[in-house]
Structure 1
Amino acid sequence: MSITDLADTCGVADSSIFRFCKTLDFKGYQEFKIALAHSISPDDEGTFHLSSQITMEDTIKEISSKLLATNISALNETYNLVKEEDVKKAVDFLINANRIHFFGVGASLITALEAKNKFMRITNKTECSIDAHLQIMSAALMDENDAAVLISYSGSTKDTIEIAKLAKERGAKTICITRFAKSPLTAYSDVILLCGVNEGPLQSASLSAKISQLFLLDILYAEYFKRTRKESIANKENTSKAVVEKLL
Structure 2
Amino acid sequence: MLSEMLPVLPPSEKKIAAYLIDHPEEAVALTAHEIGQRSNTSSAAVIRLCKSLHLKGLPDLKIRIVGDLQRQSNHEQRDIEPNEPAFSIIDKMTSNAIQTIQETAELLNTVELEKAVVALHSARRIHFFGIGASSIVAQDALQKFVRIDKTAYAFTDIHMASTLVATGSHEDVAVGISFSGQTKEVQTFLDTAQNKGLTTISLTKYGQSIVADKANIRLYASATKEPTFRSGATSSRLAQLQVIDILFMCVASLQYDKTVKHLNETRAMVDKLRE
Q: TM-score, normalised by structure 1?
A: 0.76
Q: Name the CA shift for 1:204/1:145 in 2 (closer, same or farther; >3 Å).
A: farther
Match of 1:155 in 2: 181
The equivalent of 1:86 in structure 2 is 112
Distance 1:94 1:71 in 2: 27
**In 2: Cα distance, 1:81 partner to 1:175 partner:** 16
Moved more, 202-211 or 236-245: 202-211
1:125 to 131, 151, 158: 151
Structure 1 segments, 4+ long, off by >3 Å, are 4-7, 200-205
From the superposition, tell whether residues 201 and 147 of structure 1 become closer, same or farther in structure 2 (CA, over 3 Å): farther
Which of 144, 165, 172 is 2:198 aligned to? 172
Distance apart, 1:201 and its partner CA: 7.9
Percent identity of the aligned residues?
A: 29
Q: Which residue of 2 aligns with 1:187?
A: 213
Shift of 1:210: 0.9
> Would you say the 8 A contact 2:172–2:198 is kept in 1?
yes
Structure 1 unpaired stretches of 5+: 12-50
CA-to-aligned-CA distance 1:145-192 (integer Å, 9 cap, x gap)? 100111111111111110011111111111111103300001111111
The answer (yes or no) to whether the contact 2:181–2:210 under 8 Å persists in 1 is: yes
Q: Which has the higher contact order (CA 8 A, sep 6+)?
A: 1
Which letter does structure 2 place at the counterpart of 1:151? I
Given candidates 213, 236, 258, the residue that maps to 1:209 is 236
Contact kept, 8 Å, 1:5 with 1:183, in 2: the verdict is no
Corresponding residue to 2:94 among 68, 72, 85: 68
Match of 1:231 in 2: 258
- Contact map agreement 2:166 2:196 (CA 8 A) in 1: yes
Residue identity opposite 1:154 in structure 2: S
Q: Which structure 2 segments of 5+ residues have no match? A: 12-76
Q: d(CA) in 2 for partners of 1:124 and 1:224?
A: 10
Q: Distance in 1 between the 2:9 and 2:229 partners?
A: 23
Equivalent residues, number? 207
Q: CA RMSD in A?
A: 2.3
Instruction: Give the TM-score of the pair, scaled to structure 2.
Output: 0.69
Which SS does the other structure have where 2:203 is aligned?
strand
Q: Work out whether residues 181 and 192 of structure 1, in 8 Å CA contact, stay in contact via their aligned partners in 2.
A: no
Residue 249 (structure 2) aligns with = 222
